[in-house]
Structure 1
Amino acid sequence: MTVAGNQADFVVVGAGIIGVACALQLARQGRHVVVIDQQDPGMGASYGNAGHLATEQVFPIADLSILKRLPAMLMDPMGPLRVDWKYLPRALPWFIRLLLNLRPTHYLRTVAGLRALNEASLGAWQRLLQAIERPDLLREDGSLLVFERADSRQAIDALQQRMKQQGVPVDAWSGDAIRTVAPQLSDAIQGGLFFPGTGHFIDPYQVVGALVAAAKASGVQFLKRQVLDGRVEARGVELITDQGPFAARRLLIACGAHSAKLTTALTGKKVPLDTERGYHLMLPHEHGRLPFAVTSLERKFIMTPMTQGLRLAGTVEFAGLDCPPNMARAWQLHRLSQGLFRQDLNAADATAWMGFRPSLPDSLPIIDRVVEGKVLLAFGHQHLGLTQAAITAELIAQLASVESVPSGLPALGAYRLGRF
């Protein structure tokens, strides 16, 4: 069946983890929902993320030290945080806004906003996965941040104190304690921080697939089309696609790093959305090396065990949506892993990937209802899209039903479109 006219209650633009989770929640309210994306579900950033349920990450994506690191960011193509010098003129206004958001009042607002979402994220994922009878997709086994250099201990201690001040569960582990649970890690690791309130997904793409199956069973229709433009009309919203117009009573924009143009077309508001280009390297012959996700403080990347092997991820690049991927950055992750294990990781048959993480300069997403309730927004979750997808879906479902958010869910003031 092809939906036409105003038969659809909601059209969701974006078939990533957030769009699909939202579509499922809206359908469970009895709404007729259609999801539109130019790719198959889950083939964008949701396919290649680190798989880490990062509830401990309550601080912004950068701090003032970014000013000292800017020359290296421009000159080192393999650095953990890179800015393509050709893209710098376009990125500079975004970075200026990022720095302005590091002022004390704005910084505290960001931390409070991230903390509110992250504290609610695990419970929301538990509810969602239980509802689709797939709790096995999430391992609630914690995660570990390790350090190797003696001079890193001060930074680790300071981070632990900051985490405790924000109510993030965290325990200090010695190097011996780490090797007790992860015996293949190197003797060079001196210690680390264990975060018991986190976990990891055994396969992020499989998570999307399970949600898609549940959504289809609830009547959600998925269409593969490219959205070119849109406009708000008296009876709802009309999209212009490469296969003709498509109308619905209401619309949700959840297409990640590609959300800015459509948001401007429908709301008249220009949002400062950029993209953190993230890379991963999947090692299919690595099973059993790690019991849970492990991040290196000095090397600045994460390793997550999955059903397909071990995924190395975490590098960030600012080069826009159009620049071709530099897959050498993905392979650099294997070189970064050397020395972290007693025996180096096997990179045979490894596959490299790059995707776009949607980032706003205050490190918070936009979750809102605008244009007389005809347009809902759920994008800009930076590298926390997987973590915050389930709670975002619950919030969108509430926004679709009522004007205010009931107690027990984060207040939405920090995530409003109007803050820009």
Structure 2
Amino acid sequence: MLYQLYEMNNAALWPARICADVTRLFYTNPFNPLAHTSFGRTVAAGAELFERMTRHYDKPSFGLDSTVVDWKTVPVVEKTVWSRPFCNLIHFERAVPAGRRPDPKLLIVAPMSGHHATLLRGTVEAMLPYAEVHITDWVNARDVPASAGRFDLDDYIDYVIEMLHALGPDTHVMAVCQPSVPVLAAVALMEAKGDRLAPATMTLMGGPIDTRRSPTAVDVLAEEKGSDWFRQNVIMQAPWPAAGFGRAVYPGFLQLYGFIGMNLDRHIAAHRKFFENLVKNDGDSAAKHREFYDEYLAVMDLTAEFYLQTVDTVFVRHALPKGEMTHRGVPVDPSAIRNVALFTVEGENDDISGLGQTKAAHDLCVNLPADMKAHYMQPAVGHYGVFNGSRFRSEIVPRIVDFIGTYGRQGKIDVKATSAKAASERAAKVRA
């Protein structure tokens, strides 16, 4: 019933939101004298804050229309190149000159943990100058009809393998946060079978490979409560009129409220600052707030079976590091990985995946040569900074690109030169 009540409350607030939006428009209209007063800006700021805090946020778009390749700005087009009921694989196709040396193929596996794949917009944008980027665009479980069947952690691993097969040889895979475990499992299974389409490299970023190391509040809660508690307390039925009406799901709004609760003071301060910036007419700061929260507050549901199996496997039983994880009855053995180079990235202040949790992958891949392993800890960043932001672009991306270039067939990529080209292009735009 909680999900239905949530939807009813959201619908009941529509008239109030419309009224608030009309008020905002009235007090920001340049032809209204009050719009140029502190009183008018205060009323408009309060109205916008109310409307935004009670709004249902739809999935944002990637909005990546261009990138810089070889000194030039080239258009980018999103194309769906593989599709299943619970996921679409998007290729950001760049209009590069014919006959140009091909860049590496990169599969970015986005987290299926409550937010849409567009949360990695900055990750995709940063990698576009260096690779043919593909990303998993997971479908909101409430939008998938019950007739499409189940989707659990085993299916997730199958999807990753299928996508790697679809992309072909010499593909590089990058897992951000949650998918680190299923991606490592998928690569281990492919290597155990001698699959020639196993990726050339595997980059794991801020992932919960072994949550016994530096456990965070999320890890402790999951282990203390156990799988049954989550089954009884957070699993609900998708409400009508959603396409997936009746499907058992873990609602995205519960995940969102959990994340907000972990840093409540920070979010309250951010919204207070947003209000003050609107009153001061600081448009740039207000726009940055809107951009971040338009993404952060847009959430999606997960299938109940995927969520519960992930909680049990990763956070409760620690099955992968203990050597107890299976995929459809077949043991997942990371020691089978002998040919896929491994790069792990962690953030010093990560409060979702603690220090050492991702690096644990190195201890599991015991038969991978030492010179095919690399690890990097980014100082002074939290979980989000591992895959987005200025330090990600300046410190982490060059390392990823260098690693991919070292172990890919295309050879080395001159990341410094490419970065210089991008900077030159941006400078030219500013001068123009």
User: What TM-score, normalized to structure 2?
Assistant: 0.27
Structure having the larger proportion of residues in helix: 2
Say which one has the larger Rg. Answer: 2
User: What TM-score, normalized to structure 1?
Assistant: 0.27
Structure having the larger proportion of residues in strand: 1
